[in-house]
Structure 1
Amino acid sequence: MHTRPDQQQVQGLQQDPDQSKLVFRLEGDRWTDFPKELQWTTYLQEWHVRGTRIRRLPDFLPLFTQLTVLEIPKNTLSELPPEIGELPGPPRVPPRVHPLPRPTKMVPPELEDCENLERLELTGNHNLSELPFELSGLKKLAHLDIAENRFASIPICALRMTSLQLLDLSSNRLSDLPQDMDR
């Protein structure tokens, strides 16, 4: 179901004057679904979707071949769909999802297919306790933010990320460190 919010809550499609990028902004808790017209705007380079009641990213997300930023904080998304791995490998995709009720299945292994991913933000999901080992294949990932979750240990995949420079595990439930921690 799609409800129409006030004009102030939707920035819509706009040209970013600083970076000459086409940007989609959607904000407000009255949104329960993405606008159907969005599927015809595959030229968009940035999505900023914040504070909505949308539960799932659209199936047509992989059609956005020029997408460089996917920012989705403070929504009611329950998972990152496997289709996110079909994105063309943008240089920067910082997904933030809130909340994630089923921690072991919420970050799909297909995310490893985003070969150029440099930053992954999964802060504040509160139930996330694992990351799939396949994410160790993210060779360009330099920033992994998994603060405010339920990790008891450093995810093994994070130890295998060769370009990782920043790992934020603050406000987790860390109780031990992996034996093979060599970084």
Structure 2
Amino acid sequence: MLGIAVCSSVSSIKALWETRIKKRKEEQEELERRTPRGGGTKRLNIGLWEDRAVLVRLKEKIHTEDGRLVLRIQQEEWKSLPGCLVQLSQVQEWQIHRTGLQKIPHFISSFQNLLVLDLSRNGVTEIPKQIGKLTQLRELLLSYNRVQFVPEELSCCESLERLELAMNRDLDHLPDQFRNLKKLQHLDLSMNDFTCLPDCVVALPTLQWLDMGGNRLQHLPEDIHRMKMLHTLWLQRNKINILPESISRMGNLDTLVLSSNSLTDIPPMMEDMAHLRFVNFRDNPLTLDVVLPCRKTKAEEDDEDENDREMFGREFMQTYIQEAKRRKAAALDVHCLKPAHCLRTD
């Protein structure tokens, strides 16, 4: 009886083992039928090889400048950046220009050492929310792209000192949280679609340089004097038709460009802006036709460079204000004398 039991157990185990082998073989054959020629493993190996090749190519574009690791790509086609770029997270500056880049990758947050992100002259349409993770970022340059929206997360870039968003055309709004950029000194919003100077910009405590030229501004805020640190203000090619008198209280302002607007007058109080070194009112429909006194010979004028000739703007402003005051006083005198002339004599 014992011998029969042993034989029976061996037979059962053998049958079970053969069944498993057969099933495994069928599964393997089915997998091979479903897998395209070359196989998944082969495709994976090819993908790894391609990533390594791209990584080698990217490493060749890294240079050291002023002790900083810089990734520079120019005039090459890179509509997107590969994920393997994360392996170069020690890079401190990106300079990627004229590549057709359409999107800032979400893995940008991995570049915690990034100080400068310069993607000017591409096709970027969106600033990802992950940008807010770059707390060391000092410069973000996105001029000549297609950005339409600035996320509030950008305000988390607490070290940001320079932001350039010129020539994005459809950009017309900034989030209110933008005022939290306590270190921002340089802001370029020129050639966009702003109709007013955002209050969050006026509230920036350390802003020194602002370009809002080439927008659709019609007026300036009455509290523009809150921009106490501002020394340069570009407002050319807008539709501004009046200046608030509070502009005269901008004590640090030394450069003010107002050419090609719709101004018909200059506030008299601007005469007292002692720090204003350069101002330009060209191509405005000002009410008074003021001619500056000729103080130089033709030869001397020909020797001046263009910058020197532009300096007449401040002298023009002073002369315009004085002439406006003179005419106003003359008109007042005439008004006061008019009743005396109209008295009857019997």
TM-score bracket for this pair, using the shorter chain length: 0.7 to 0.9
Could you tell me which runs of 5 or more consecutive residues in structure 2 were left unpaired when the two chains were aligned.
Answer: 1-52, 54-58, 227-346
Indicate which of 39, 52, 61 corresponds to 1:12: 61
Give the secondary-structure state (helix, strand or coil) at the position aligned to 2:183.
coil
Distance 1:34 1:64 in 2: 14
Give the secondary-structure state (helix, strand or coil) at the position aligned to 2:84.
helix
Q: Does 1:43 align with 2:87?
A: no
Indicate which of 142, 145, 148 corresponds to 1:96: 142
Indicate which of 220, 230, 253 corresponds to 1:177: 220
Question: What residue in structure 1 maps to residue 25 of structure 2?
Answer: none
Q: Once the 2 structures are TM-superposed, how far is the Cα of residue 40 of structure 1 from its aligned partner?
A: 0.4
Question: What residue in structure 2 maps to residue 87 of structure 1?
Answer: 134
Distance 1:11 1:182 in 2: 49
Question: What residue in structure 1 maps to residue 73 of structure 2?
Answer: 26
Give the secondary-structure state (helix, strand or coil) at the position aligned to 2:141.
coil
Q: Does 1:156 align with 2:156?
A: no
Q: Which has the higher helix share?
A: 2
Distance 1:166 1:81 in 2: 26
Distance 1:14 1:36 in 2: 20
Give the secondary-structure state (helix, strand or coil) at the position aligned to 1:85.
helix
Distance 1:42 1:148 in 2: 33
Question: What residue in structure 1 maps to residue 290 of structure 2?
Answer: none
Does structure 2 conserve the Cα–Cα contact (< 8 Å) formed by 1:99 and 1:127?
Answer: no
Q: Highest Rg: 1 or 2?
A: 2
Amino acid at match of 2:145: P
Does structure 1 conserve the Cα–Cα contact (< 8 Å) formed by 2:79 and 2:102?
Answer: yes
Distance 1:166 1:11 in 2: 36
Does structure 2 conserve the Cα–Cα contact (< 8 Å) formed by 1:89 and 1:113?
Answer: no
With normalisation by structure 1, the TM-score equals 0.85
User: What is the correspondence of 1:40-119 to structure 2 with a 5 Å cutoff?
Assistant: 40-90=87-137, 92-100=138-146, 103=148, 106-119=149-162
Q: Once the 2 structures are TM-superposed, how far is the Cα of residue 182 of structure 1 from its aligned partner?
A: 3.3
Does structure 1 conserve the Cα–Cα contact (< 8 Å) formed by 2:112 and 2:133?
Answer: no
Q: Once the 2 structures are TM-superposed, how far is the Cα of residue 36 of structure 1 from its aligned partner?
A: 3.3
Structure 1 moving runs of 4+ over 4 Å = none
Distance 1:163 1:59 in 2: 29
RMSD: 2.0
Q: Once the 2 structures are TM-superposed, how far is the Cα of residue 97 of structure 1 from its aligned partner?
A: 4.4
Could you tell me which runs of 5 or more consecutive residues in structure 1 were left unpaired when the two chains were aligned.
Answer: 5-9
Give the secondary-structure state (helix, strand or coil) at the position aligned to 1:60.
helix
Question: What residue in structure 1 maps to residue 187 of structure 2?
Answer: 144
Question: What residue in structure 2 maps to residue 134 of structure 1?
Answer: 177
Distance 2:224 2:131 in 1: 29
The alignment-based identity, stated in percent, is 36
Does structure 2 conserve the Cα–Cα contact (< 8 Å) formed by 1:144 and 1:168?
Answer: yes
Q: Once the 2 structures are TM-superposed, how far is the Cα of residue 15 of structure 1 from its aligned partner?
A: 1.8
Distance 1:69 1:51 in 2: 17
Question: What residue in structure 1 maps to residue 231 of structure 2?
Answer: none
